[in-house]
Structure formats: C-alpha cells, structure tokens
Structure 1
Amino acid sequence: MHADYATVSVQELLAPDETALDLPWATFVGDHGKSHTFEVPATNPTDSYLEIQAYDVAEYGHQIMLNDEPLSGFDIPPGEGWQYWMDTIAGSPLRPGENRLRFERDGATDDAFAVGTVVVHWRTDSPEE
C-alpha cells in the first residue's frame, strides 16, 4: 500500500451576497460552489479523507459534495477566522480517474464563509506511476 493525494484550489466565497466578507481572492458563488475536478490515478483508492482550509464558518449545516453525493455527518465545523479541518470520505467513495468536489452553503442561514485549498488523500495498492 502507498499513499497519494490531490490538491484542489477552490478559492470561493459562499454567502448570501458578495459583500458579506471582504475577500478579494475568493470568487463569490452564492449557495452552490463550482465543481472542481481532480484525478485519482489508482484502481482501488481506500481510506480516503480530505483536509480543508475554511475561513469564518459560523454554522454546521454546510455540505461537501463528492461526485454529486454529500459526505456523511457534518462537514465543516464553525470556527472564527481560518481553520484547517479533516473530514473522512465515507459513503461517497473516491473513484479511479476523474472525481468532482463541490461545496454547498446552508441557504437557511445568513452564514458567509470561504474555502481556500482542499487536499484529498487516499491509500492504494496500485503500483506507483
């Protein structure tokens, strides 16, 4: 077995309006982030998880979508300023080849937050390329 990872640059502001946070580096996307693709060059990825840079999250109800399926449990906990969070990937496994990652804001709240970079990790018994 060996470990591998993919880095995904998200750089999005999820908020009810684009003036909610003054973050010139983040693209305003409203309640639904854009789909970000990354490759998994393994035939059998297992034990996967992701690490997320998030800024100023105030509510629990936001979702991380992997290949159009929500990750289980709560995905991004509240925290002031920058935080770095790890979330296991269960129920929506990584698949060999192209995968899609997207963030959804809980529109029932007035929360505004940003996502910086995400690192997706997995183990595989595939030979290293």
Structure 2
Amino acid sequence: MITTINLNSYIKSSIEVFLFHSFKLVISYVVLEMDMKNRSRYEVIAAMLRSCYRRESRTKIMYKAMLSNDQCKLYLDSLLQYGLIQQVEFNDKMMYVITERGNKFLTFYEQMKNLLPNFIEVSEDYYGVQNENKVLNSIA
C-alpha cells in the first residue's frame, strides 16, 4: 500500500531527477551555443549537411544545426539550389537528404579544415559571400 510519505518522497525524487536532467540540458546547450557564436557559413552548411545523412525534416535540421527558422529556410534554399541536398517526400512529409555533391562538399570541407584550420574564417572575413559562391560552384 502506498502511503503519503512514500508518495511524497517519490514525487520529490522525481522532481529532483527532472531538474537535474533539465539543468544538464541547459548547460550543454549554453556550452554549445558559446562554441557556435562565430560559426562561418561553411560551418553552418557542414552542420546542416551532416544532419541530412538520414532523411530529416526542416525542423530537425534546424535544431541539429542550431539555427533559427528563418536562417534554416535561407540555408535550405541555397543548399537545394546548389544541389547539396534534395527534397524527398516521406509519409506525406517533406524531408531533406544529402546528395553525392553534398558528400563531396563535406569531404572537401573537412580536408580544408584539417589542412588550414584558420583559412575558412579568414577568407570569409576578407572575401565574404563571393568566396562562398566560388567554392560551392567549384565542386560541381
């Protein structure tokens, strides 16, 4: 038989567990956000492409890449335009999946990041969007 004392202690321990896990999530989100404050466009694109290895909805891509809804829409349009992802319909939902060209981009991005760690940030600061378009067009 459940007594009031047992029920109260169960509720208290459940609340403590919930608060602990919530606190862990908030802390991990803050740490991730601090790391991602100054992400380059290429880092955002790479994060979005990584999230599209499996079919994903726009909402899941947005959360995995830590973008706002407006940012996600703009990037998805660009990724579709450049052929880095494709739209597929699955269970009456629009989903996105990475293409072969998107995989090439990720491979080149990782190689460039390993060879020249500061190149992406410096070139983007200096050349801006024009440089991004040249890189995306060169992987055709």
Report which of the two has the higher share of helix.
2
Q: Which has the higher contact order (CA 8 A, sep 6+)?
A: 1
- TM-score, normalized by the shorter chain, greater than 0.5: no
Bigger Rg, structure 1 or 2: 2
Q: Sort the TM-score into its range (normalised by shorter chain).
A: under 0.3
Please give the TM-score of this superposition, normalised by the length of structure 2.
0.23
